[in-house]
């Protein structure tokens, strides 16, 4: 028998609609409704302004380590905007803009990065998972959610976020494989921002694209200019529609760039050149969008000021809030507190009463200790 | 009432709970058409179909990770890890997520699920098929760790685990699957999680065990009674975590002499926690140092040598006599 070709189809598309010079491919313009487009631009800008504010808050010691998103606003908003509230969003830890879009209040994001788990609790009925830190481990959860939705005849779609580094993890493989076998409504959105801390994409995989990995799992993968809001939106909408129509998963690789640090604990000058960053700054997802909005007559003035005021008010509310009670660490370990945790809770309560005069016997904190960040504001 | 071995008794628990609650789905390797390599899920695929009894790809992290997602949605997955020795490939999903989701979201999102794993020696199996790792799970806040010792309590505890709002690790000792039969009532029964039982009342010495070691402990108690006239109190832990310290302390106060039998290696093992709990609650009642009879601190040997590694009644009797003579 001769050698025969069993898989002749292997091609990966790359979609760009509005390029970094602001040149638009009219034929491909997804014609996002004006209201939505304005909201999306506003959300990108909010993501950028909050990001910059949070980096400063971290530098001032008012929140802890934080993973900035600067440069990835289009990848996040272009994709998340295709979901309805009935759909599920599964983030990793660098999806601030997408999470704000889904309704997470700024204060909660600040709480989370100030070291309080209260920041990780979605609102009742909100179909979002909280920030997940161990890389790629959230991806099987997304597939399980999608399986459950299908099992319950719920037409919800699940969108899962991760980075280029995550595609090296076993959980990426297992999640993608299960998604393919089960043919579930999940959209994998990889923000390939070129760097997993200090390790560049070419050391992460010898494959030319991440998108092509989907083919091995039996579903489509597509690469898109991740800094092009229009292209990300067009590709994701198609994937979400496919998923909702029962056509299974899609892997979207958003080619983007982390313009800032990995986290506020990182110094990227150790591993990448200024020139590289400058080249990507020219491809900024926000910059190219402004002339597009102007051409459509959708650019309104004063948005930056509005957003800054919104952020300032949220920071103020966050810092004015009383410190959450330390005793609550015992409250949600199990549905019902077992005896050994009752004992440990009593022990902590007694100790707190000793070191915190004015603390109520019932464990309520009457002195309103400053939060971790607040203490350092008196510089 | 029917006389059932543990495989049939666990199967009955799954069948009845699946009839009662259509949120329950089973997921694992070979659990569907094949009925599980130990046949615990036999016939369930035929009764409930492939959507509810899922033959998953061969991937432990995928099984636990997708089950976490199903549980977050509101289903109640029952995962089977084919052998507990393979669970290291999903340990991160259990520790990072199954155990923590309730805490992470302040009770907003929870993951009620049951993770079943055959464990323990005596099945003459190759490497990684015979270990006892209950201490790893018992150490993780947010998990419950349950180990039945026979068909009837296995069935009742599995029903309780399936109705529990928290993630439960459910260890099934392979050597017990076909070892003995119990009268198991047709109507569903439960046993509280987090509660040890006094398996046999006694005055002179308390022997604490669980899972496959209860057979060894009972045999040793019989010998001590017959040959030495010793009255042994036997405690079957049933739930390793959260530990029922109260029952252990009460027995220590009564007998003053304690011996723990387990199949996991000794150092930093589950017995150490039992010792510490008794020391904290009944120190002044103790007449002798608490002793542990366990597997040795070596990787579980090939099955040709497993009998020498796992505690047997003779070792328990010998150590019991030292404790009694102290």
Whether residue A188 has pLDDT greater than 50? yes
Q: How many domains does chain A have?
A: 2
Domain membership flag for residue A9 = no
- pLDDT score recorded for residue A296: 94
- pLDDT score recorded for residue A359: 55
Indicate whether A312 and A340 sit together in one domain.
no
Indicate whether A143 and A72 sit together in one domain.
yes
Instruction: Give the confidence band of A177 by pLDDT, cuts at 50, 70, 90.
Output: very high
DSSP state of B33: T
Select the residue of B57, B89, B142 nearest A177 (Cβ to Cβ).
Answer: B57
| Cis status, amide bond into B242, omega within 30 of 0 | yes
Domain membership flag for residue A171 = yes
Indicate whether A333 and A368 sit together in one domain.
yes
- pLDDT score recorded for residue A374: 40
Question: How far does the CA of residue B166 sit from the closest CA of chain A (Å)?
Answer: 6
Indicate whether A165 and A277 sit together in one domain.
yes
State which fold the B197-325 domain adopts. Rossmann fold (3.40.50)
Question: How far does the CA of residue B75 sit from the closest CA of chain A (Å)?
Answer: 7
Domain membership flag for residue A126 = yes
Cα-to-chain-centroid distance, residue B193: 11
Instruction: Give the confidence band of A1 by pLDDT, cuts at 50, 70, 90.
Output: confident
Shortest CA distance to A278 belongs to which of A75, A72, A71? A71
Count H helices, E strands: chain A? 13, 8
- pLDDT score recorded for residue A368: 44
* CA atoms of B231 and B238, how far apart (whole Å): 22
Domain membership flag for residue A2 = no
- Whether B192 contacts chain A with CB within 8 A: no
Q: Which residue has the tokens 């591993």?
A: A271
For A268-286, the pLDDT digits (tens) are 999 999 999 999 999 999 9
Shortest CA distance to B236 belongs to which of B152, B147, B144? B147
Indicate whether A112 and A173 sit together in one domain.
yes
Indicate whether A137 and A239 sit together in one domain.
yes
Query: DSSP 3-state assignment of A282?
Result: coil
For residue A136, list chain B residues with Cβ-Cβ distance below 8 A: none
All CATH 3.40.50.920 domain ranges in chain B, comma separated: 197-325
Q: What is the ipTM of this complex?
A: 0.96
Whether residue A364 has pLDDT greater than 70? no
Shortest CA distance to B312 belongs to which of B228, B213, B236? B213
Q: For position A182, which CATH number holds? A: 3.40.50.970
What average pLDDT does the structure give for chain A?
92
Find the catalytic residue in B129, B173, B225, B262. B129
Task: Count CB-CB contacts under 10 A for residue B106.
Answer: 19
Q: Which residue has the tokens 């039998």?
A: B261
Contact A271, A206 (CB under 8 A): no
Adjacent-strand bridge partners of A191: A163, A254
Mean pLDDT calculated for residue range A150-166: 98
B129 is catalytic: yes
Q: Does B59 sit within 8 Å of A143, measured CB to CB?
A: no
- pLDDT score recorded for residue A322: 86
- For residue A335, give the H/E element and its range: none
- pLDDT score recorded for residue A358: 58
Alpha-carbon separation of residue A195 from A200, A262, A272, B42 (angstroms): 5, 8, 9, 48
Indicate whether A30 and A114 sit together in one domain.
yes
Indicate whether A231 and A324 sit together in one domain.
no
DSSP state of A102: T
Q: Which residue of B has its CA nearest to A150?
A: B51
Domain membership flag for residue A68 = yes
What average pLDDT does the structure give for chain B?
97
Instruction: Give the confidence band of B274 by pLDDT, cuts at 50, 70, 90.
Output: very high
Query: DSSP 3-state assignment of A11?
Result: coil
Domain membership flag for residue A338 = yes
* CA atoms of B128 and B84, how far apart (whole Å): 8
Which class for B116: exposed (0-12), middle (13-18), buried (19 or more C-beta within 10 A)? buried
| Half-sphere exposure of residue A90: CA atoms within 13 angstroms, side-chain side | 31
- Expressed as residue numbers, the domain containing A181 is 14-317
Domain membership flag for residue A271 = yes
Mean pLDDT calculated for residue range A133-155: 98
Q: Which residue of A has its CA nearest to B72?
A: A145
Select the residue of B70, B245, B246 nearest A147 (Cβ to Cβ).
Answer: B70
Given A286, A317, A348, which residue is the final one in a domain?
Answer: A317
For B201-232, the pLDDT digits (tens) are 999 999 999 999 999 999 999 999 999 999 99
- pLDDT score recorded for residue B153: 98
- pLDDT score recorded for residue A7: 77
Contact B77, B51 (CB under 8 A): no
DSSP state of A225: E
DSSP for A25-47, written as a single string: -GGG-----HHHHHHHHHHHHHH
Whether residue A149 has pLDDT greater than 80? yes
Task: Count CB-CB contacts under 10 A for residue A203.
Answer: 10
Indicate whether A70 and A199 sit together in one domain.
yes
Class of domain B2-184: alpha beta
Indicate whether A107 and A192 sit together in one domain.
yes
Indicate whether A249 and A360 sit together in one domain.
no
Mean pLDDT calculated for residue range A171-182: 98
Domain membership flag for residue A346 = yes
């Amino acid at each position: 028998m001769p050698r025969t070709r069993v898989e002749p189809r292997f091609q990966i598309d790359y979609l760009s609609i509005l390029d970094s010079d602001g040149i638009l491919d009219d034929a491909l313009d997804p014609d996002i409704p004006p209201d939505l487009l304005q909201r999306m631009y506003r959300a990108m800008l909010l993501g950028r302004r909050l990001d910059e504010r949070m980096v400063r808050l971290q530098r001032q010691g008012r929140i802890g380590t934080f993973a900035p998103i600067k440069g990835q606003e289009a990848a996040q908003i272009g994709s998340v905007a295709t979901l309805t509230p009935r759909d599920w969003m599964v983030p990793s830890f660098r999806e601030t803009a997408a999470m704000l879009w889904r309704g997470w209040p700024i204060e909660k994001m600040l709480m989370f990065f100030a070291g309080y788990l209260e920041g990780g609790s979605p609102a009742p009925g909100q179909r979002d998972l909280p920030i997940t830190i161990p890389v790629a481990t959230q991806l099987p959860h997304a597939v399980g959610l999608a399986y459950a939705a299908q099992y319950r005849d719920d037409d919800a779609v699940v969108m899962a976020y991760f980075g280029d580094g995550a595609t090296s993890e076993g959980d990426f493989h297992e999640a993608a494989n299960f998604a393919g076998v089960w043919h579930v409504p999940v959209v994998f959105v990889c923000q390939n921002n070129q760097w997993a801390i200090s390790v560049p994409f070419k050391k992460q995989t010898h494959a030319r694209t991440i998108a092509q990995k989907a083919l091995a799992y039996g579903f489509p993968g597509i690469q898109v200019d991740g800094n092009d809001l229009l292209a990300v939106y067009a590709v994701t909408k198609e994937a979400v529609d496919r998923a909702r129509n029962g056509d299974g998963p899609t892997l979207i690789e958003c080619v983007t760039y982390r313009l800032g640090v990995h986290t506020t604990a990182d110094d990227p000058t150790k591993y990448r050149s200024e020139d590289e960053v400058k080249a990507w700054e020219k491809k900024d997802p926000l910059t190219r969008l402004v002339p597009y909005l102007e051409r459509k007559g959708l650019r309104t003035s004063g948005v930056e000021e509005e957003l800054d005021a919104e952020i300032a008010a949220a920071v103020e509310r966050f810092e004015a809030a009383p410190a959450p009670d330390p005793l609550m660490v015992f409250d949600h370990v199990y549905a019902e507190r077992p005896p050994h945790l009752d004992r440990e809770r009593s022990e902590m309560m007694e100790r707190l009463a000793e070191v915190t005069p004015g603390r109520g016997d019932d464990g309520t904190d009457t002195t309103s200790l400053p939060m971790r960040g607040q203490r350092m504001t008196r510089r | 009432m029917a006389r059932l071995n543990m495989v049939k008794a666990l199967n009955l628990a799954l069948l009845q709970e699946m009839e009662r609650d259509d949120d329950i789905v089973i997921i694992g390797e070979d659990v569907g058409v094949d009925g599980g390599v130990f046949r615990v899920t036999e016939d369930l695929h035929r009764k409930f179909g492939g959507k509810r009894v899922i033959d998953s790809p061969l991937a432990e992290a995928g099984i636990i990770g997708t089950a976490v997602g199903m549980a977050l949605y509101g289903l109640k997955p029952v995962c089977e890890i084919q052998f507990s020795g393979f669970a290291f490939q999903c340990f991160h999903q259990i520790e990072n997520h199954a155990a923590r989701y309730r805490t992470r979201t302040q009770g907003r999102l929870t993951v009620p699920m049951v993770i079943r794993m055959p464990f323990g020696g005596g099945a003459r199996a190759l490497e990684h098929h015979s270990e006892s790792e209950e201490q790893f799970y018992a150490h993780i806040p947010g998990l419950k760790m349950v180990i039945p010792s026979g068909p009837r309590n296995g069935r009742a505890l599995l029903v309780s685990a399936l109705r529990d709002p928290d993630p439960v690790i459910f260890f099934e000792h392979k050597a017990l699957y076909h070892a003995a039969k119990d009268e198991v009532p047709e109507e569903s029964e439960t046993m509280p999680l987090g509660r040890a039982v006094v398996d046999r009342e006694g005055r002179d010495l308390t022997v604490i065990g669980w899972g496959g070691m209860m057979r060894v402990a009972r045999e040793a108690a019989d010998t001590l009674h017959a040959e030495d006239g010793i009255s042994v109190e036997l405690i079957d832990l049933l739930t390793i975590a959260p530990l029922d310290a109260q029952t252990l302390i009460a027995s220590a106060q009564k007998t003053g002499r304690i011996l723990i039998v387990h199949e996991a290696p000794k150092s930093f093992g589950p017995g150490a926690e039992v010792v510490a709990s008794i020391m904290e609650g009944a120190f002044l009642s103790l007449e002798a140092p608490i002793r542990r009879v366990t597997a040795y601190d070596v990787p579980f040997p090939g099955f040709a040598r497993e009998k020498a590694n796992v505690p047997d009644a003779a070792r328990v009797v010998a150590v019991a006599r030292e404790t009694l003579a102290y």
